[in-house]
Structure 1
Amino acid sequence: MAEHDLNGAVADTPGMTAQRVVIGGRRLTIEDVVAVAHRRAAVSLNSDPAWRARIQRGADFLRQHLASGATVYGVNTGYGDACVVEVPMHLVEALPLQLTRYHGCGMGDYLDNEETLAVIAARLNSLAYGFSGVRPVLLERVADLINHRVLPRIPSEGSVGASGDLTPLSYVAAALVGERDVMFRGALCSAREAWRALGHEPLTLAPKEGLALMNGTAVMTGLACLAFARAAQLARLAASLTALSTVALDGRAAHFDALIFEAKPHAGQAEAAAWIRADLAGRTDTPGHRLQDRYSIRCAPHVIGVACDALSWVRRDVENELNSANDNPLVDPDSGRVLHGGNFYGGHIAFAMDSLKTAVANLADLMDRQLALLVDDKFNNGLPRNLTGAAPARAPINHGFKAVQISSSAWTAEALKHTMPASVFSRSTEAHNQDKVSMGTIAARDCLRVLQLTEQVAAAHTLATVQAVQLRLKLNGATMIPVPLQRFMSTVAGMSAFVDEDRPLEPDLRAVTASIAAGGLMAPTDGAAA
């Protein structure tokens, strides 16, 4: 559909809904950033004249402050350890472009489109806070990057998380000035070509605008928003797979009685137990079963609950960072001050991502242990070895989910390995000016990798558990499958058929993993971790 951009022009945004996220003068949520990243929303700058006037006052005040002979870091001084170097006035206008250029040294995989959009949205919101001394036109052009899908190619490696995400964000700044390559209308082209196609000239950065774009935590924060959303989905899915595993193993729903969780009042585990009870609604335990199921079933709410409770404070810290002025120096036109500080330091995001990746890896371990019970005929209460669905005459040569469980174990091990905290690996850099750094962007990238691996484990567990319930129905025709779980199984069956004869399951696993990552394979009952 067609969307109007900030200057009244029409932008082509195929597949986008009419939803808009307003930037400036309001608090953004993680969900706002995720909506922008997944192309469910465009962005608009706040139309309030008072907010727009304040942005302009910041830029005007900075100009006046410089004209009075004041010294402002990164505006008429060198950068970092070179802050003692005075920049002559005739070079001040050229300084921002130099910053963008010498930081063009990123390496590693490029951020994907969703990650890039999340990063740009986070940077735009910080600049719109009104303490960065940038012009309104800069905010308009950053919004254009989102609405017109002019997506910088941002290398994922090269940031130590203080002084912010300098190197990766240099690719955003470079795109604005018409340098380096961007993805535009589905193809790789130069940034200058993209702006020409949109009828704009590349931006000439004003003093401090290069620094304002680059000196902040937008990369780690944008990635953290995406990580939060995926972790919340996984927590809910792990609860549903626990319920489904309980049915498949002919286990006990009584382990999730509400009174148990009232007696140990962690909100997260009570929420997880409530999800499992909802998914098992109407199921009663059969007398004579094993009195207590194994820990990976019985204690599942206690494992999932840690992730749920972590998500509550992770949201707080990520959204505080998202809604902050996190560059340096800060420019306050109302008090007439320039404040030199360290808001670019990404410590809160670093710790949040280090913690979240550990909670998520524990979900991988939980699901892998449940899967191990399902495939092992010594523990699965009568199901076929490796969940093979082959006819008896063909059973000796069929191995069902044997290799899937091996792969799941490999993915789980790698996820657990990545839980080494990044935030403790500060390195002194830049002539010992940046002598204590956050490593927040590395922590966020690690968290996303743990999420990817855990989603693969969840896909394996999903396929195996649906197979196991179908086999249970063949064994015990009267087995009661609660309606929520029936709906869940039907959704999965649309992506992967029952495995009777062995077949390569990679296509099925990839389809289910992609659906989990995108939020398409949702839990069978309403609710989400928050």
Structure 2
Amino acid sequence: MLTVAQVAAVARRKDVTVVLDSQAAKDRVDESSNWVLHHMTKGTDTYGVTTGFGATSHCRTNEGVQLHKELIRFLNAGVIGKDESNILPISTTRAAMLPKEGLALVNGTAVGAALASTVCYDANVLALFAEVASALFCEVMQGKPKFTDHLTHKLKKPKQDRYALRTSPHCLGPQIEVIRAATHAIEREINSVNDNPLIDVSRDKAVHGGNFQGTPIGVSMDNMRMAIAAIGKLMFAQMSELVNDFYNSGLPSNLTGGPNPSLDYGFKGAEIAMASYTSELLYLAGPVTTHVQSAEQHNQDVNSLGLISARKTEEAIEILKLMSSTFLVALCQAVDLPHLEENMQASVKHAVSQAAKKTLFTDEQGSLSPSRFCERDLLKVVDDTPLFTYIDDATSPSYPLMQKLQQCLVSHALDKSNNEEVRSIIFQGISVFEEEVKNLLESTVPKIREEFDKGVTSIPNRITDCRSYPLYNLVRSLGTKLLVGTETRSPGEDIELVYQAISDGKLASPLLECLEGWNGAPKSIEPCLV
């Protein structure tokens, strides 16, 4: 059985061949061809062989070869151009067409089914990407994983996180069912006979029917385009949350990765582009099959518009590829930002610890100072203060880090259990501690960022332990990296690299690697034994 994946592979790659039982098929085709020639010479009327076409089928001729040359000629009513891509291969043009072959050549259902096959393949890959990307989105947003629990989807009442995160399985599930149904319909078409008339050699007759009607293609492509639009809308909603610092669980606004947020607007332009893509995608979601017109002297009063619908779905697929590329680059940025934060935060903690040991442990006489007990609370301040609130200047007194460190020491000094002497000692040490921290931070923080840009980190990236790592690795293996405003490299350059990789078919393997070891079945619900 021929699959949409095989059709897509043959259409796009010169090194791919599909092994079918060609000899068995050729024998049957030869029998039918001989039957046509035999009955034509006998003078038997056969549609499209000795008759005209459609509303002019009352015309008769015994010049079958010339009839099909005329069929090709009068159907050439469009603007084709002289580009070689619009010309039939030489091997085809050199071969003489036999009676009825011209009719098969111009059958729109065959062309529509071929295009629909490549569209179905892409749609399945992108739908799978949307699922894995939603999982990665949950990880970078620090979402509550309960929405993925198998019981949640048996009861279908998830709570907590915003809809784009916790209801992503419910949004994607119906769309995947639509894409799956469309794929089955197209595979049925490419494995069926859509000719007319059909030749039944065993009964010595030509059966006139309507297998040429491509309605299954048109309807399937219309439905698929709506599913693609819904997937794109979900992806845009997720992207909007990802760049919004009100919702993205501590990530910087617009995913800015540079040292100066005032001169780094990160993925602001990318989100605007996503809005534009979404608008166009939703416009394309409208049905094509409802616009059929009566044609060919009202003989073709009902048509499928399958090829047009397949073409519009192909356009929708291209837009979804652009959206997927943009979203994937943003997700990788969101993966690297916490990695940068973790490494820089470790450096800040080390500096605070060193400063505390140097300035708070002993007094001027070398005796143990009561302020030595502050270190643990000072380190907790560093843990609790988001790095991106002071990333452009860790030593600024107007930023949360230095303010909270000072507040921590003041709180210790004002503790009721301390007497006036202890309070005085701690207060005197605050300015000395702050000065020491500033000196250490000014030398260590820029160094950590410089090393991070070179790929040298003391703490490894936690994405390597995640199932979604193959997807991240694909993006970074293309030469992309954390985007910052201090460099001339734009988000569009990285997005273009990822888009090209998706267009070249490099997305499927990493996606399958992400799902390796999973057979698609939900977990069984086991009772908890107390």
What's the TM-score, normalizing by structure 1? 0.70
State the AA in 1 paired with 2:332: V
Query: Which of 514, 518, 527 is matched with 1:525 structurally?
Result: 514
Could you tell me which amino acid in structure 1 is paired with residue 70 of structure 2?
Q
8 Å CA contact 1:215–1:328 kept in 2: the answer is no
**Following TM superposition, by how much is the alpha carbon of 1:435 offset from its aligned partner in structure 2, in angstroms?**
0.8
What code does the residue aligned with 2:96 have?
T
Matched to 1:81, the amino acid is A
CA 1:51–1:225 in structure 2 vs 1: closer, same or farther (change >3 Å)?
Answer: closer
1:147-202 residue CA offsets vs partner (Å, 9 max, x unmatched): xxxx9734xxxxxxxxxxxxxxxxxxxxxxxxxx35xxxxxxxx5xx44xxxx981
Q: What residue number does 1:436 align with? A: 302
**Do the aligned residues in 1 keep the contact of 2:51 with 2:57 (CA within 8 Å)?**
yes
> Does residue 232 of the first structure (1) align with residue 124 of the second (2)?
yes
Quickly say closer, same or farther: Cα 1:436–1:109, change in 2 above 3 A.
farther
Q: Distance in 1 between the 2:466 and 2:56 partners?
A: 66
Match of 1:400 in 2: 266
Distance 1:529 1:210, change over 3 A: farther
Note the aligned Cα RMSD (angstroms): 2.7
Query: What pairs with 1:73-112 in structure 2 (closer than 5 Å)?
Result: 73-87=47-61, 89=62, 91-107=63-79
- What residue in structure 2 maps to residue 213 of structure 1? 105
Contact 1:235/1:363 (<8 A) preserved: yes
Q: Hey, what's the Cα distance between the residues in 2 that align with 1:307 and 1:329?
A: 37
Alignment-mate amino acid for residue 46 of structure 1:
D
Give the aligned residue type for 1:355. N
Change (3 A) 1:310 1:518: farther
Counterpart secondary structure, 2:472: helix
Alignment-derived partner of residue 497 in structure 2 = 511
2: CA distance, partners of 1:51 / 1:240? 41
**Which of 144, 148, 153 does residue 85 from structure 2 map onto?**
153
Does the 8 Å CA contact 1:216/1:343 hold for their aligned counterparts?
no
Output the CA distance in 2 between the equivalents of 1:53 and 1:402. 62
C-alpha distance 356-45 of structure 1, shift in aligned 2 (>3 A): closer
Q: Which residue of 440, 458, 468 maps to 2:324?
A: 458
| Contact persistence 1:368–1:412 (CA under 8 A) | yes
Equivalent in the alignment of 2:170: 302
Q: Within 5 A, what are the aligned runs for 1:376-387?
A: 376-387=244-255
Return the offset for 1:106.
3.5
CA contact (8 A) 1:235 1:308 kept: yes
Q: Which residue of 2 aligns with 1:469?
A: 335
**Contact preservation (8 Å) 2:470, 2:514:** no
Partner of 1:41: 16
Q: Is the 8 A contact 2:483 2:490 kept in 1?
A: no
Q: Tell me if structure 1 keeps the 8 A contact 2:64–2:100.
A: no
- 1:44 & 1:297 partners in 2: Cα distance? 43
Q: Which amino acid aligns with 2:209?
A: G
Residues 358, 419 of structure 1: 8 Å contact kept: yes
Q: CA deviation at 1:51?
A: 4.2
Residues of 2 paired with 1:217 and 1:353: CA distance? 13
**Cα pair 2:108 2:307 within 8 Å, conserved:** no
Alignment match, 1:120: none
Change (3 A) 1:321 1:362: same
Q: For residues 32 and 214 of structure 1, do their structure 2 counterparts lie closer, same or farther at Cα, with a shift above 3 Å needed?
A: same
Contact 2:214 2:304 in 1 (8 A): yes
Please tell me whether the aligned partners of residues 244 and 466 of structure 1 are also in contact (alpha carbons under 8 angstroms): no
Aligned residue type for 2:473: S
Residue number among 31, 38, 44 corresponding to 1:57 in the alignment: 31
Equivalent position SS for 1:320: helix
Gaps of 5+ in 2: 344-458, 521-530
State the distance in 2 between where 1:201 and 1:372 align: 53
Give the drift of 1:507. Answer: 2.5
Match of residue 475, structure 2, among 471, 483, 492: 492
- Measured after TM superposition, the shift of residue 486 of structure 1 is 3.1
Structure 2 matches for 1:366-377, cutoff 5 A?
366-377=234-245
Query: In 1, Cα distance between the equivalents of 2:293 and 2:500?
Result: 36
Instruction: For residue 519 of structure 1, report the CA deviation from its aligned partner.
Output: 2.9
Amino acid at match of 1:153: S
Any conservation in 1 of the 2:467–2:515 contact (CA below 8 Å)? no
The structure with the larger Rg is: 2
TM-score w.r.t. length of structure 2:
0.70
Residue in 2 aligned with 1:326?
194
- 2:473 aligns to what SS in structure 1? helix
Partner of residue 466, structure 2: 483
Aligned-partner SS, 2:2 = coil
Give secondary structure in 1 for the equivalent of 2:199: strand
Q: Deviations over 1:287-326 (max 9, x none)?
A: xxxx711101111111221222123322221111111110
Say if 2:289 and 2:304, in contact at 8 Å, map to a contact too.
yes
Give me the whole-angstrom Cα distance separating, in 2, the residues matched to 1:47 and 1:443: 31
Q: 1:261 is aligned with what amino acid?
A: H
- CA gap of 1:423–1:152, structure 2 versus 1, over 3 A, is farther
Instruction: Give the residue type in structure 1 aligned to 2:498.
Output: V
Q: How many residues align?
A: 395
Structure 1, unaligned stretches of length 5 or more?
A: 1-26, 111-150, 155-180, 183-190, 266-272, 274-290
Measured in 2, the distance between the counterparts of 1:344 and 1:68 equals: 27
Indicate the larger mover: 236-245 or 363-372.
236-245
Return the alpha-carbon distance in structure 2 between the equivalents of residues 349 and 529 of structure 1. Answer: 30
Q: Partner amino acid for 2:515?
A: D
Identical pairs, percent: 31
Structure 2 counterpart SS, 1:94: helix
CA distance in 2, matches of 1:260, 1:249: 20
Give distance in 1, aligned partners of 2:120 and 2:54: 32
Distance 1:371 1:326, change over 3 A: same
Equivalent position of 1:23 in the other structure: none
> Which residue of the partner structure matches residue 184 of structure 2?
316
Give 1:413 deviation, angstroms: 1.0
Alignment CA distance shift 1:386-1:44 (3 Å): closer
Q: Is the 8 A contact 1:307 1:360 kept in 2?
A: yes
Q: CA shift at 1:454, angstroms?
A: 0.8
Using the TM superposition, name which of 441-450 and 375-384 deviates more.
375-384
Aligned to 1:351: 219
Alpha-carbon distance in structure 2 between the residues aligned to 1:47 and 1:320: 19
Shift of 1:449: 0.7
Q: Does 2:17 correspond to 1:31?
A: no
Closer/same/farther in 2, CA of residues 382 and 45 from structure 1, 3 Å limit: closer
Structure 2 distance, partners of 1:59, 1:42, is: 26
- Following the alignment from structure 2 to structure 1, what is the Cα–Cα distance between the partners of residues 329 and 33? 57
